[in-house]
Amino acid sequence: MGTSNEHAPLTERVEQLLDGGLPLTIVAAGDPVLRRGTEPYEGQLGPALLARFVEALRVTMRAAPGVGLAAPQVGVELRIAVIEDPAPVPEEVRLARGRMPQPFRVLVNPAYEPVGDARAAFFEGCLSVPGWQAVVARPAAVRLTGQDEHGQALDEVFEGWPARIVQHETDHLDGVLYLDRAEPRSLSSNLAMAERWTQPTPQEAARALGFELP
Ligand code: ZN
CA of 185 to the centre of ligand 1 (A): 19
Residues of the chain above pLDDT 70, percent: 97
Return mean pLDDT, the chain.
Answer: 96
What's the pLDDT tens digit per position in 53-102? Answer: 999 999 999 999 999 999 999 999 999 999 999 999 999 999 999 999 99
Please pick, among 15, 55, 91, 169, the residue that the annotation labels catalytic.
169
Q: What does the pLDDT read at residue 2?
A: 47
Residue 80 CA from chain centroid, whole number: 11
User: In this structure, is the dihedral angle defined by the CA atoms of residues 135, 162, 196 and 132, taken in order, positive or negative?
Assistant: negative
Q: Which residues pair with 82 in a beta bridge?
A: 69, 106
Question: If we measure between CA atoms, which residue out of 119, 138, 205 comes closest to residue 178?
Answer: 138
Sign of the CA dihedral running 108, 31, 123, 211: negative
Taking only the tens place, the pLDDT of each residue in 130-165 is 999 999 999 999 999 999 999 999 999 999 999 999
Amino acid 49 reads: L
Over 90: is that where the pLDDT of 1 sits?
no
pLDDT per residue as tens digits for the range 7-60: 679 999 999 999 999 999 999 999 999 999 999 999 999 999 999 999 999 999
Strands (E), 68-200: 68-70, 80-85, 102-114, 119-124, 132-139, 141-147, 153-159, 188-189
Listed by start position, the domains of the chain span 4-209
Distance 129 CA to ligand 1 centre (A): 7
Distance 9 CA to ligand 1 centre (A): 26
Domain 4-209 adopts which CATH fold?
A: Peptide Deformylase (3.90.45)
Q: What is the mean pLDDT of residues 179-193?
A: 98
pLDDT at 4 over 80: no
214 pLDDT above the threshold of 90: yes
pLDDT at 172: 99
Is 190's pLDDT higher than 90?
yes
Calculate how far, in angstroms, residue 179's C-alpha sits from the geometric centre of ligand 1. 10
Check if 169 is active-site.
yes
- Å from CA of 188 to ligand 1 middle: 16
